[in-house]
Amino acid sequence: MPVHRRSPWSLPDSEVTPPALFRARRRFLKAGAGSLALSAGLASGLGGWVGAARAAVERPGKLAPLEVTGTTHRVDEALTDYEAVTTYNNFYEFGAGKEDPAENAHTLKPRPWTLSVDGLVARPRTFDVADLLATQPLEERIYRLRCVEAWSMVIPWIGFPLAALLDRVEPLGSARYVRFESLIDDERMPPRNRAPISYPYVEGLRLDEARHDLTLLAVGLYGEVLPNQSGAPIRLVVPWKYGFKSIKSVVRISLVEDRPLNTWQALQPSEYGFYANVNPEVDHPRWSQARERRIGEFFRRETLMFNGYGEAVADLYRDLDLTKWY
């Protein structure tokens, strides 16, 4: 008879943290955020992000809570502090500095928001994100996030599989890739705050990557809706790839036949490829990828192939030379 093997990232129902305990932990973190964040910032050499940026960020309990069906995927590692997750990140529409998004993203208005899904599909649709959240079951997933800049976090996202959305539009047989496009809006994302790259921000996945069970459309973190600076109201999360693949504030998803040219590949193809799989054996031209700095930790740690998700995703690339197709 078939033997069911639990995936290493899945969480038994008996180990799901009750919501009351989860929120109690967040209150504890909030109470100690000042000293903890300061020491973590100094130890990690982050400096400025513990200053004005933290003053601009919404704390847990300030944003709308989200109801989830459970925690279906997790890594058994300490969560990165909420303050760090929401004040140390890249969101170039709001500036090139790590603290810029938390300072500048107050201009983003995440409601109302529509998400168009079009291209090589039988039923192209435009979804109102509020309606989508009301009809799509949400789950918590605790994933590692590894930036190409060699820092990392562990984040409790809330969302739903991208595959569930794609099923609703019925991709055609000719569709081979999925192209994602972020919002670009002069009022909600003033040009004076943007980093000097091409907009709108574009990303892409192969269709089998997009339909993989780990690929998530996130609408929240730490039990609440996404803060603006984290990609509100809806963003992509692909945990085995470098963070720049996880495009924020998505307004359009297109099923296409040809491989999309993503923003960073277009800017510097020798440094940023289409696949962007986390790979400690393939260095960035300007720094090693063998080790990473987990935000909040003093020492660097070894980087895991595919960010630790190799058992789930390695077969997707069995025919690729990952030193060539980086």
Q: List residues forming the annotated binding site for Mo-molybdopterin.
A: 89, 92-93, 147, 182, 235, 246-248
Whether the upstream peptide bond of residue 227 has omega within 30° of 0, thus cis, is no
Provide the 10 A C-beta neighbour count for residue 206.
Answer: 16
Pure H helices in 58-190:
82-87, 100-104, 129-135, 162-169
What's the chain's Rg over C-alpha atoms? 19
Q: How far apart are CA 139 and CA 111, in angstroms?
A: 21
Nearest residue to 46 via CA among 94, 97, 109, 113: 97
Query: Which tokens in the block code for residue 35?
Result: 């000293």
Distances (CA, A) of 302 to 78, 151, 268, 283, 307: 16, 11, 26, 13, 10
Token pair 């983003």 is found at 108
Q: How far apart are CA 306 and CA 314, in angstroms?
A: 8
Provide the 10 A C-beta neighbour count for residue 133.
Answer: 21
CB neighbour class for 62 (10 Å; exposed up to 12, middle 13-18, buried from 19): exposed
